[in-house]
Amino acid sequence: MTVLEQRGAYHPSPPPAWRPRTDPAPLLPDAEPHRVLGTDAARGADPALMRRLYGELVRGRRYNAQATALTKQGRLAVYPSSTGQEACEVAAALVLEDRDWLFPSYRDTLAAVARGLDPVQALTLLRGDWHTGYDPREHRVAPLSTPLATQLPHAVGLAHAARLKGDDVVALALVGDGGTSEGDFHEALNFAAVWQAPVVFLVQNNGFAISVPLAKQTAAPSLAHKAVGYGMPGRLVDGNDALAVHEVLADAVRRAREGGGPTLVEAVTYRLDAHTNADDATRYRAADEVEAWRAHDPITLLEQELTARSLLDEAGIEAARADAEAMAADLRARMNEDPPLDPMDLFAHVYAEPTPQLREQREQLRAELAAEREGA
């Protein structure tokens, strides 16, 4: 026996037996997206809610068409349409209480409008006369986020802050399938679960991140499955079934409000239009795929249910369309007016008080404008 061997073998005390920190089974999404329309479950649905959803879907479709038309007339710089995704947009807006917060991405102006925001204000970013056209606190709608998934940690922080203050506030954050690949998606879900923040993440899986299909985006069984890794439930829902989306989101919001923590919802839907008016979707997807999704249109699905239950007749459909036309006419008229522009605004809100350097630059621009006017 060597000197060192005389010390005896090093026998560390065994670590405590390992087991998972939580049981992953209850967090797993269902095998199929949740559906209500066309199933027995639809019969128990609230007619008033169904009619409300229908009216908003019809308005939403018309809003998307009008906004797209405004790009062709040069009244919008760009428009990322949510045509085909109206059920998600509308349900997200309708499940929230007034005091709750919505965190939209650039494709979610419809959700903001359905929440009560003036469409002209919602479209300010896309018209290009300013970045955010509204006071986020007025309707509890965060600024439209153009950098992908960066709005998700904001939703978590706001929900956490509300909880710290003892306020009964839930945040609902919208993100697309492409956004789930971003680091901020991961960090936001992790923070939300660790803090048990009252937040709901709605992924609208519309099949494409501009041109890149989901298969090139992730190898996960579904985007909803990603929830399990964070220790929160993942829910899978048919994103074109407005009642199903509303039900799943309402459950998640209720759970968050009751202190149950965050939920990740994946709504399976389809972007019927191109990424924006500047995109050509025929370069990356086949027409028959689009047609197949048109046959699963959110408005048609709800309309069929409503008419089958005699909750909607031709007159009702006409009334919804007329209401949507009136909204579109008003939007068109107001968007056809040139927005007021004040170049001095460029310096007004960079800081609470302009720095000495910004004051100098403001004077420079003021002088340039004066010279321009004299020259004109």
Partner 1 sequence: MTTVALKPATMAQALTRAMRDAMAADPTVHVLGEDVGTLGGVFRVTDGLAAEFGEDRCTDTPLAEAGILGTAVGMAMYGLRPVVEMQFDAFAYPAFEQLVSHVAKTRNRTRGAMPLPITVRVPYGGGIGGVEHHSDSSEAYYMATPGLHVVTPATVADAYGLLRAAIASDDPVVVLEPKRLYWSKDSWNPEEPAAVEPLGRAVVRRSGRSATLITYGPSLPVCLEAAEAARAEGWDLEVVDLRSLVPFDDETVCASVRRTGRAVVVHESAGFGGPGGEIAARVGERCFHHLEAPVLRVAGFDIPYPPPMLERHHLPGVDRILDAVGRLQWEAEG
How far apart are alpha carbons 258 and 182 in whole angstroms?
A: 29
**Residue 300 buriedness (CB in 10 A; 0-12 / 13-18 / 19+):** middle
Which residues partner with 172 through β-bridges? 102, 200
H or E, element range at 343? none
Between 54 and 347, whose beta carbon lies closer to partner 1? Answer: 347
Q: Phi-psi category of 326—alpha, beta or left, where left has phi over 0 and alpha has psi -120 to 50?
A: alpha
Question: CB 184 → partner 1: shortest distance, Å?
Answer: 6
DSSP secondary structure letter of residue 14: P
Closest Cα partner for 121 from 103, 90, 144?
144
The footprint of partner 1 on residues 56-115 (CB under 8 A) is none
Question: CB 115 → partner 1: shortest distance, Å?
Answer: 16
160 is known as an active-site residue: no
Question: CB 154 → partner 1: shortest distance, Å?
Answer: 4
134 is known as an active-site residue: no
131 is known as an active-site residue: no
How far apart are alpha carbons 248 and 33 in whole angstroms?
A: 10
Instruction: Measure CA 236 to chain center.
Output: 16
Question: CB 306 → partner 1: shortest distance, Å?
Answer: 38
Does the footprint of partner 1 cover residue 131 (CB under 8 A)?
yes
The footprint of partner 1 on residues 140-199 (CB under 8 A) is 142-143, 147, 150, 152-162, 164-165, 171, 183-184, 186-188, 190-191, 194
Between 32 and 363, whose beta carbon lies closer to partner 1? Answer: 363
Given the residues 284, 296, 334, 362, the one annotated as active site? 284
Does the footprint of partner 1 cover residue 130 (CB under 8 A)?
yes
Given the residues 75, 140, 255, 271, the one annotated as active site? 271
Binding-site size for partner 1 (CB under 8 A) equals 42
Stretch of 9-17, 64-72, 111-119, 125-133 contacting partner 1, by CB under 8 A = 125-133
Instruction: Measure CA 205 to chain center.
Output: 11
The footprint of partner 1 on residues 310-369 (CB under 8 A) is 345, 348-352, 355-357
Between 90 and 111, whose beta carbon lies closer to partner 1? Answer: 111
Closest Cα partner for 102 from 202, 205, 178?
202
The footprint of partner 1 on residues 237-266 (CB under 8 A) is none
How far apart are alpha carbons 302 and 25 in whole angstroms?
A: 32
How far apart are alpha carbons 295 and 274 in whole angstroms?
A: 18
H or E, element range at 228? helix 226-230
Residues annotated as catalytic are 271, 275, 284
By CB under 8 A, name the binding residues for partner 1.
Answer: 130-132, 134-137, 142-143, 147, 150, 152-162, 164-165, 171, 183-184, 186-188, 190-191, 194, 345, 348-352, 355-357
